[in-house]
């Protein structure tokens, strides 16, 4: 089954209102604590704040990733790319018999606008707030005439593409400086199968959504249609619209950029892919030189 880009496309002819949802946090099966937490030496409770793994206790005394999400989600943005394409009219509009029929009925030939506007919706992550650098997927921006970046506080900025790296499907956008704490990069080479990871993005244009999973495989390259080299495979839910959003570890560091999925219907079946952070930084290094 071929790999699919994880971007979400809306044609203006079929565009529907997008419902904005609050951040969803799925962390119930992490009640066992983080892998980095020390083993208790007694039955006394050890505060989760001391583990350094991003989990803290909520008001009910249960482990929660909510504090980590409050810290990292402001740096995750929605990226919208609008493009105009020229389309061919339906064959029947060129059919002389059809025109003759309309003439007999006293009806005009229908108008046809060859220009069709398309909007692709995905995600991005602020990696340098002072310079206004946003990392996203290159395929999301294909043929884009207008690029818009929207923050979690609903501020929107017109963006321009500074650099891209087709070999990793990563692009760097430029917006005005913003008062947001950017996300740091983690070392993707240290990822192991079984490590917990979190995908943040804008699936199906619903709004910012958080999903939790593990690293299912590393160095995955033997996938039909994959031209991006070795990828991180995860069962954290990645759907159309997650493209360009970060895959983070439990410290809040970016370890990958979500880019694709495999599924019979184009939706998530627990097989998503991210470009490792160590490779994704190629385009960023180019604009920082």
Structural domain boundaries enclosing 215: 183-288
Assess whether 50 carries a catalytic annotation: no
Q: Which pLDDT value is given to residue 266? A: 65
**Is there a domain that residue 238 lies in?**
yes
- Per-residue tokens: 22: 């609050």
What is the distance between the alpha carbons of residues 236 and 199, in angstroms, rounded to a whole number? Answer: 6
Give the Å distances, CA to CA, from 250 to 39, 151, 209, 257: 18, 22, 16, 15
Output the domain CATH number for residue 257. 2.40.10.10
**Is there a domain that residue 120 lies in?**
no
**Is there a domain that residue 176 lies in?**
no
Q: Which pLDDT value is given to residue 42? A: 37
Q: Which pLDDT value is given to residue 91? A: 77
Q: Which of 7, 64, 123, 139 is catalytic?
A: 139
E strands, the chain, are: 4-5, 8-11, 56-57, 63-64, 76-86, 115-128, 133-137, 146-150, 156-165, 170-174, 196-201, 209-220, 231-234, 246-248, 254-261, 272-276
What is the distance between the alpha carbons of residues 121 and 150, in angstroms, rounded to a whole number? Answer: 11
- Per-residue tokens: 279: 């490779």
Q: Which pLDDT value is given to residue 225? A: 64
Which residue positions in the chain have pLDDT lower than 50? 11-51
Q: Which of 123, 164, 237, 243 is catalytic?
A: 243
**Is there a domain that residue 278 lies in?**
yes
**Is there a domain that residue 93 lies in?**
no
Q: Which pLDDT value is given to residue 223? A: 74
What is the distance between the alpha carbons of residues 53 and 47, in angstroms, rounded to a whole number? Answer: 12
**pTM of the full predicted structure?**
0.74
Q: Could you give phi then psi for residue 32, rounded to 5 degrees?
A: -75, -10
What is the distance between the alpha carbons of residues 204 and 183, in angstroms, rounded to a whole number? Answer: 23
Q: Tell me how many domains the chain contains.
A: 1
Q: Which of 64, 120, 169, 235 is catalytic?
A: 169
CA dihedral 236, 72, 62, 213 (to 10 degrees): 10
Q: Which pLDDT value is given to residue 284? A: 87
SS3 annotation, 129-153: CCCCEEEEECHHHCCCCEEEEECCC
Give the Å distances, CA to CA, from 187 to 83, 184, 192, 255: 35, 10, 11, 6
Q: Which pLDDT value is given to residue 77? A: 97
**Is there a domain that residue 150 lies in?**
no
**Is there a domain that residue 190 lies in?**
yes
């Amino acid at each position: 089954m071929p790999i699919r880009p994880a971007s979400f496309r809306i044609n203006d002819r079929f565009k529907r209102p997008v419902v904005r949802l609050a951040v969803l946090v799925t962390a119930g099966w992490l009640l066992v604590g983080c892998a980095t937490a020390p083993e208790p030496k007694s039955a006394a409770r050890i505060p989760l704040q001391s583990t350094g793994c991003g989990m803290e206790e909520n008001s009910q005394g249960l482990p929660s990733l909510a504090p980590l999400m409050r810290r990292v989600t402001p740096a995750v943005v929605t990226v919208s790319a609008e493009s105009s394409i020229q389309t061919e009219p339906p064959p029947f509009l060129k059919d002389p018999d059809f025109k003759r029929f309309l003439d007999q009925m006293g009806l005009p030939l229908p108008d046809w606008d060859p220009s069709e506007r398309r909007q692709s919706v995905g995600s991005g992550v602020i990696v340098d707030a002072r310079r206004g650098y946003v990392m996203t997927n290159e395929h999301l921006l294909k043929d884009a005439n207008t690029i818009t970046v929207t923050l979690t506080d609903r501020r929107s900025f017109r963006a321009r593409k500074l650099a891209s790296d087709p070999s990793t499907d990563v692009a760097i956008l430029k917006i005005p400086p913003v008062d947001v704490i950017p996300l740091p990069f983690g070392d993707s080479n240290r990822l192991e199968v079984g490590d917990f990871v979190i995908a943040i993005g804008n699936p199906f244009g619903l709004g910012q959504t958080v999903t939790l999973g593990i690293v299912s495989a590393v160095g995955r390259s033997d996938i039909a249609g994959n031209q991006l080299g070795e990828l991180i495979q995860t069962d954290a839910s990645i759907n159309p619209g997650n493209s360009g959003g970060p895959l983070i570890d439990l410290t809040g560091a970016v370890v990958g950029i979500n880019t694709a999925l495999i599924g019979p219907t184009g939706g998530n079946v627990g097989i998503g892919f991210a470009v490792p952070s160590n490779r994704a930084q190629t385009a960023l290094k180019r604009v920082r030189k």
